[in-house]
Amino acid sequence: MDCILLAAGYATRLYPLTENMPKALLKLGSKTILDRVCEKIEELDEINNIYIVTNHRFAQQFEDWAKTYNGKKSVKVLDDGTTNNDNRLGAIGDIKFVLDSENITDEILVMASDNVFDFSLQDMMNLYHEKNTDVISAHYVPDLVDLRQMGVLELDGDNRVISFVEKPAEPKSHWGVPPFYFYKKETVALIQQYLAEGNNPDAPGHLIPWLIERTPVYAYTFDVMTIDIGTPKTYAEAQKLFD
C-alpha cells in the first residue's frame, strides 16, 4: 500500500504565514506539521511509499524537507505543475495525478498533510482489513457551526456509510469527516472513472457520495483530538498542544 499526502493548496486563510511557505511546513513545537503527520504514517508497516503531491510554487521547499527526512518510509515529492487557486487540479485531481505519475494500481491511503490527530492509523487499518472494504474516518462533532464547514455522513448500525454531504446547511448527523481514506485496489480504478465522468475534482469528500452508490464504504469512528489546521485560530490551538 502507498500513501498519498495532499499538499497542493495555497492556504490563503493563513496569510501572511503561508504566502511564501506551505502550510504543512509550519512548525508545531520543534517539528513541522508534516513531520508529525509522517510520524503517524511510519507506524503502518504496510505502507511502502509516501507521495507528497504539491504545487509548483512550493515544490522546492518540500524537496528540501524530504532531503532531511529520517523516517523509514520512502518519500517522494510530486509537483503537479499548478501555480495558483485558479489553475489548481483539486484534491481528487491531485490523487489522479499521483496515480498516473507513479503508475499506482494497488490500494492506497489518502490523507491531508495539515491535520494533527491522536487516533491510531493502525486501528483504522485494522478495520479496513476486517471489513475488506474502503474505510473513511468519522469524528463526533457536537457544534453545528463546525459541521457546516466539513463533510458530514450518516451511518447505519454497523457503521456503513449511507449518506455523505459536503458542508451541509442542515447536517443530518454529528459525524464530521476528517481527510483520512483507505481505498482498495478496485476503488483506485473507480477514482479514475469518477473524474472521467466530469465530476467535481476538488475536495476529497466529493468522491464519497458517488462511491457509496457503487461499493460499500465503512467509517472508523473516533472521539479523540483532531485539528484541521486551516485558520490562524486552529493553528494557534495546535501550537498550544506542542509547546
What total of structural domains would you count in the chain? 1
Distance CA 5, CA 53 (A): 6
Dihedral of CA 8/13/19/23: which sign? negative
86: domain CATH number is 3.90.550.10
| Residue pLDDT, tens place only, 94-106 | 999 999 999 999 9
| Residue pLDDT, tens place only, 191-222 | 999 999 999 998 888 999 999 999 999 999 99
Distance CA 77, CA 9 (A): 14
Query: Which parts of the chain have pLDDT scores under 70?
Result: 243
Cα dihedral 233/237/238/243 (nearest 10) = 130
State pTM to two decimals.
0.94
**3-state secondary structure at position 190:** helix
Give me the domain span that covers residue 225: 2-241
Distance CA 5, CA 55 (A): 12
